[in-house]
Amino acid sequence: MSTMAVTQARTGGMTSDERFVILASSLGTVFEWYDFYLYGSLASIIGAQFFSAYPPATRDIFALLAFAAGFLVRPFGAIVFGRIGDIVGRKYTFLVTILIMGLSTFIVGLLPNAATIGFAAPVILIASQVVRRELGFDFIQEVDFKAVYKNCSVFCEMVLIPEQARRLTVMACQAAITRRGVAVLILPVDVADSAAVDELPYRVHTNVPVLRPSETDLDEMARLLAEGSNITIYAGAGCAGAHDEVVELAKRLQAPVAHTSRGKDALEYDNPNNVGMTGILGFESGYHAVLNCDTLLLLGTNFAWSQFYPSRATIIQVDSDPMHIGQRHPVQLGVVGNIKDTLQALLPRVSQRKDSSFRDAYVERHEKALKAQAARSVPGKRGLIYGQYLSSVINRKAAEDALFAADDGTCGVWMLRVIAANGKRRMFASLLHGTMASGIGTAIGLQTCQPGRQVVCVAGDGGITMLLGDLITIVSEKLPIKIAVYDNGALGFVELEQKSEGLLPTYTDLKNPDFGKVAQAMGLWGRTVSDAAELESAVDEWLAVSGPALLNVKVAPMELVMPPFIAPEAAYGMAMYSMRAVLHGQAGDVFEMIRENFPK
C-alpha cells in the first residue's frame, strides 16, 4: 500500500524541495566551473608571480598543477564540511565555505613572489662531523669547522645533544634570514643518528624593524647637508631596495652619485646623477667627484681604501651596522639606520637646490668616460680581441635579466666596467674576499637557484684551470650555464701588480690547452675563437645553446686595466719594469704593451 502511494506521488512531478535542491546544485556547479575558468585565465599571471624562474610554458603548467593539487584535499573537505552541515545546517556551512574561499584568495595576494623570496635567499649549511667520542683526537676526517666557517658565516654552532637540535636549527634559520648570509650547523654523525626528542616549540622570528636615526640626528644630518656647497653621495650595497630614495635625495641636493662595485646593481640604472665607481676599478669621474667634494654622504658602504676618501670634506655616514661607522675614515657624523628608512625620514628635511654646476660637471665627465670606454671596446688590429670588446659583445647580446658571475681579475674588472646594470641583471664576484676562481662555483649556485634565467660565467684562464672538475658537475646536473673564458695565457691581474711594483712577471705564464676542445671532451658545447671577425657570430651561437656551453676567447695578453689615476709609485714601478724587461731581452713585451694600450 505504501509502495503504491509513493509511486503515485512520483507520477505527480517533483516537489518544491526537490526543485530547490536541483537548482542549488546547478548553481554550485556553475560557481565551481566559473572558479575553474577564473583560475585558468589567471594561470599565466600567477605563474609569472610565483614561478618566474622558469620559461613561460613551464610557469603555466606549474600554476595549473598547483590548482590541481587542491583536488587531492577536496574529498576530505567534502567529508568535513558535510558533517558540519549536518550539525549546524547546510545554509550556514555554505556561507562559511564561501568566506574561507574569499579569505584564501586574499591571502594568496599577500604571499611573497619569486622575486621577493629570491632577493636575499638565506643559506643553511649542515656540516657533518665525526662522532662526539672521537672529537679532539685528530680522528680521520675530523675538521675544526668553527675555525673554518666562523669568519665567513653569520652563525656557526655545533649540535652537541639531540635536545639542542630544534633550538639551534631555529637560531641558524633566524640568523641566515635576518642577517642575510650563510648559517652553519655542525652535526656529529651520532647526533644525526639519534632519535628526535620533545623540545619546546621554538620557531623562527624574522620581523624586520624600522631602523633609522633619531630625530636629533636626522636634523643634524639635514643641517650639515644644507651647509655643504659641493656634495657627493657615495653609495654601496646597503642601498639595495632604496634606489628611488637615493635618486630623489641626489636630485634635491644636486649631488653626483658615485657607487661601489657591490652597489652597481642597485644604483647604476635609471640614475641621472650616476658618475660610476671610484677606486682602482672605477672611472675618473667617480674618483674625482668623491675627492673634490666639500661634503661626502656615505650611504650603506664600508669602502676599504682610505686613500680614495677626501681629506678635508665633511663626511656623514649612514650604515645599518654600527661597527662600520668611522671604520675606514674619520667622519663628522655617523648614524645607524637602514638606508631606505633613513632617507624616507630625511627627505622632508632637505630642500631643493638650484645650482647644479658641481653635479653637471661630473655627470658630463662620466659620459665622456663611458664614450672613451666604448671607443676601447672595439676589435683590434689584425683581428686582435680585447677583453673589453668581448665584454661589450656579451653585454649587448645577453638577456635583460641575465645573472653574471666573474672570477676576480681582469675579466671581473671588464664585467664591472662594461656590463650594463638595468635593474633586472645581477653581477656577482668575490668583491669582499678577492677569492680567485670563484666564478664557476657562483654560476653553479645561481643556475641551481634560478633555473629559468640565463647565467653567464665570466672566467679567467687561470680560474677555469683551477676548477676544470666543475665542468663535469655542470654537465652532470644539466645546468645550462654559459662560460666565457678570457684566455690571455697569464694570471693577468697578478702580472699587472708585479709590473706596477717594478718586477718582471714571475710564475704568471700559463700553458693552456684549447679550452673549447676540453669542454667538448667533457660533454659541453665548446668553441675557441681567436679572430675578432668571428666573435659576434660565435657569441650568438654560444648563447643560443640550450645546454651548458663554453666559449674560449683568445684575448689580447698585454691589455692593461687602467685605473682612474696613475699614482707616482705605480708610474715609477712600470718604468722600472720596462727597463728591466729591456735589459733581460724582453723589449718586445714592452713594445707590445705600449702598442695595445696607447692608444688603440
Write the DSSP string, 303-332. Answer: ---GGGS-SSSEEEEEESSGGGTTSSS--S
Tell me what the mean pLDDT of segment 52-60 comes to: 60
Tell me what the mean pLDDT of segment 95-112 comes to: 56
Tell me what the mean pLDDT of segment 298-324 comes to: 91
Fold (CATH) for 377-597:
Rossmann fold (3.40.50)
pLDDT at 1: 44
Percentage of the chain beyond pLDDT 70 is 74
Residue 204: pLDDT over 70: yes
Find out whether 300 and 243 touch, Cβ atoms under 8 Å.
no
Which three three-digit cell numbers place residue 359? 653635479
Residue 519: pLDDT over 90: yes
Q: What is the mean pLDDT of the chain?
A: 83
pLDDT at 209: 86
Residue 110: pLDDT over 80: no
pLDDT digits 0-9 by tens, 126-149: 999 999 999 999 898 888 999 988
pLDDT at 119: 39
Which three three-digit cell numbers place residue 315? 663626511
pLDDT at 93: 66
Residue 242: pLDDT over 60: yes
Residue 8: pLDDT over 50: no
Whole-angstrom distance, CA of residue 382 vs CA of residue 191: 65
Does the domain at 122-192 match CATH 3.90.1150.10? Answer given as no
Residue ranges matching CATH 3.40.50.970 in the chain: 122-192, 377-597
pLDDT at 489: 86
pLDDT digits 0-9 by tens, 370-402: 998 888 888 988 899 999 999 999 999 999 999
Which three three-digit cell numbers place residue 263? 652597489
Whole-angstrom distance, CA of residue 293 vs CA of residue 358: 9
Which three three-digit cell numbers place residue 494? 697578478
Residue 107: pLDDT over 60: no
Residue 32: pLDDT over 50: yes
Edge-to-edge strands of the sheet including 549-554? 426-428, 403-406, 455-460, 482-487, 549-554, 525-529
Question: Is 584 or 406 the better-scoring residue by pLDDT?
Answer: 406
What class, spelled out in words, does domain 215-367 have in CATH?
alpha beta
pLDDT-derived band of residue 423, with 50, 70 and 90 as boundaries?
A: very high
Question: Is 408 or 358 the better-scoring residue by pLDDT?
Answer: 358
pLDDT digits 0-9 by tens, 522-567: 999 999 999 999 999 999 999 999 999 999 999 988 776 666 655 5
Residue 470: pLDDT over 70: yes
Residue ranges matching CATH 3.40.50.1220 in the chain: 215-367
Residue 310: pLDDT over 70: yes
Tell me what the mean pLDDT of segment 157-164 comes to: 95
Question: Is 380 or 493 the better-scoring residue by pLDDT?
Answer: 380
Q: Supply φ then ψ for residue 276, to 5 degrees.
A: 85, -170
Find out whether 296 and 316 touch, Cβ atoms under 8 Å.
yes
Question: Is 541 or 408 the better-scoring residue by pLDDT?
Answer: 541
Tell me what the mean pLDDT of segment 184-199 comes to: 93
* DSSP-assigned letter for residue 347: G
Find out whether 400 and 422 touch, Cβ atoms under 8 Å.
yes
Percentage of the chain beyond pLDDT 90 is 52
Tell me what the mean pLDDT of segment 223-240 comes to: 95
Question: Is 20 or 179 the better-scoring residue by pLDDT?
Answer: 179
